[in-house]
């Protein structure tokens, strides 16, 4: 089975045809001197796509077997309430289909 990271990289490359793709990092990281730093928004999507005309799309990448966590579903509901598009993509083919639909 292909890893989520390799799927994400292929999706990022494909979606870059539409605009700027940002990879979102969420978690707790340590500075070189050992201080913890929290970054990101809990449950935030893996990717954010910024398209022409001001369109912003939040994209969660999952393997075929992957499922959203409760906090990811909460983030999805919050951004959708604000009127943003949120998509779960499982393959580069999902990204290609999305691009085709946008171009129609």
The pTM score is: 0.90
Query: Is residue 99 pLDDT above 90, yes or no?
Result: yes
| Helix/strand/coil (H/E/C) assignment for every residue in 73-104 | HHHHHHHHHCCCEEEEECCHHHHHHHHHHHHC
Arithmetic mean of pLDDT over the chain: 94
Tell me, what's the pLDDT at 96? 95
Collect all residues with Cβ–Cβ distance below 8 Å to 48 and sequence separation of at least 6: 21, 22, 24, 56, 57, 58, 59
Domain segments of the chain as ranges: 4-103
Query: Is residue 80 pLDDT above 90, yes or no?
Result: yes
Q: What CATH number labels 4-103?
A: 3.40.1350.10
Contacts of 22-29 with CB under 8 Å at 24 or more apart are 22/47, 22/48, 22/49, 22/50, 23/47, 24/48
Q: C-alpha distances in angstroms, 12 versus 1, 3, 36, 61, 74?
A: 19, 14, 28, 10, 23
Tell me, what's the pLDDT at 103? 81
82-98 tens-digit pLDDT = 999 999 999 999 999 99
């Amino acid at each position: 089975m292909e890893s989520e990271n390799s799927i994400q990289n292929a999706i990022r490359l494909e979606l870059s045809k539409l605009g700027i793709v940002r990879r979102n990092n969420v978690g707790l990281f340590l500075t070189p001197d050992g201080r913890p730093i929290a970054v990101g928004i809990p449950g935030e999507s893996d990717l954010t796509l910024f398209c022409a005309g001001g369109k912003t799309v939040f994209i969660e990448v999952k393997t075929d077997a992957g499922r959203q966590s409760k906090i990811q579903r909460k983030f999805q509901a919050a951004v959708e309430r604000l009127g943003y598009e949120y998509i779960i993509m499982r393959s580069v083919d999902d990204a290609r289909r999305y691009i085709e639909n946008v171009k129609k």
